[in-house]
Structure 1
Amino acid sequence: MTATNARDGFAVVRAGGEFRLVAQREFSTGSRLFAVDGHLTETPTRYSVQVGAEIHLDLPGGHAPEEMMDRFFWRFTNHSCAPNAQLRGREFFALRPIEPWQEITFHYDTTEYEMAEPFDCRCGEESCFGRIQGFKFRTAAERELLRPMLADHLLAMVNVVHR
């Protein structure tokens, strides 16, 4: 599986002291944005993304900053409680239209069962969930709100509970 690089529609920018992944062109709702690749591990880290029941995708060590921003640019996809993208399998898709230079975001609680490093959200959205620490800690009502965006491994868990 080859990953899209930053020259193929995405750029990593630094704004307000933080790195962000932004679109360089327009994407329509449902568009495939990019695939994620990296090192598979059972141990979550601050920068990993959960892609299976006990499988996390992380960055292998020893990469130059340029490679991190080109090959592993997905690592700069930040959290939002009102995201414009979702992770399905190992690919990101647009949840709504994305304009050029708009930041690409996803809701971390839709992939992570339990965060390695929980944090207080600062997204500023009216629907902000506050503390982001993983799907495990969401209320039943919050889990239902997240259901349409859930990664397959969390959706399978929710479906087992509802049977």
Structure 2
Amino acid sequence: MYKVSEEESGKCLIATELIHAGTKLFSFDPSYYQEEKTYQTIQVGLDRHYLAESFLVLLNHSCDPNLIVNTEKGLVYTEKDIYPGEELNYFYPTTEWDMARHFVCHCNSAKCIKHVKGAWWLPLNVLSSYHLNKHIVDLIIKNMNNPDLLQGS
């Protein structure tokens, strides 16, 4: 279904056959978490970060993702059909509020946000086009209800 590939940007997962939308690819247990965020963790709650293991650590970012990471259910599934040769990826701000390590995006998508820092750094009109995890929605609401917490204030 997919294989590990070494690209110029590092290791990633590449589809080896057609993977249909809605296909479950991985599961993980979000109840195993740490409080410290790192560049290798996936945020699964307000102060909870799952240390990505196995294939999860190979999922790179894209502003036009083909995967959804559902942190409540501990599932990774395809958002759309993925064709052979395509990289498996997801939109990091759907799980990350303020990332441990920011980076410049080179996905070349028309939807590219250019600088990947986490959901806190993005306007709502951008975030609203993605499947956001519950903890990200909760943090957006918390920040909207407390202007002192809003980014840039």
Tell me which interval the TM-score lies in, with the shorter structure as reference length. Answer: 0.7 to 0.9
Structure 1 residue identity aligned to 2:41: S
**C-alpha distance in structure 1 between counterparts of 2:139 and 2:19, whole Å:** 31
**C-alpha distance in structure 2 between counterparts of 1:125 and 1:95, whole Å:** 16
Calculate the TM-score normalised by the size of structure 2: 0.82
What does residue 95 of structure 2 align with?
A: 111
Which of 62, 65, 71 is the matching residue for 1:83? 65
| 1:49 lines up with 2:42 in the alignment | yes
**C-alpha distance in structure 1 between counterparts of 2:61 and 2:2, whole Å:** 17
Structure 1 residue identity aligned to 2:60: N
**C-alpha distance in structure 2 between counterparts of 1:87 and 1:100, whole Å:** 21
* Matched-pair identity in %: 26
**C-alpha distance in structure 1 between counterparts of 2:59 and 2:9, whole Å:** 15
**C-alpha distance in structure 2 between counterparts of 1:155 and 1:31, whole Å:** 24
Superposed displacement of residue 73, structure 1? 1.6
Superposed displacement of residue 152, structure 1? 2.4
8 Å contact kept, 2:120–2:140: no
Superposed displacement of residue 17, structure 1? 4.7
Give the 5 Å matches for 1:4-153. 9-36=1-28, 40-59=33-52, 72-89=54-71, 90-146=74-130, 149-153=131-135
Query: Is there any run of 5+ residues in structure 2 with no aligned partner, and where?
Result: 146-153
8 Å contact kept, 1:118–1:133: yes
Structure 2 residue identity aligned to 1:36: F
Structure 1 residue identity aligned to 2:125: A
Structure 2 residue identity aligned to 1:79: H
Kindly indicate which of the two structures has a greater share of residues assigned to helix. Answer: 1
8 Å contact kept, 1:42–1:55: yes
Query: Is there any run of 5+ residues in structure 1 with no aligned partner, and where?
Result: 1-8, 60-70
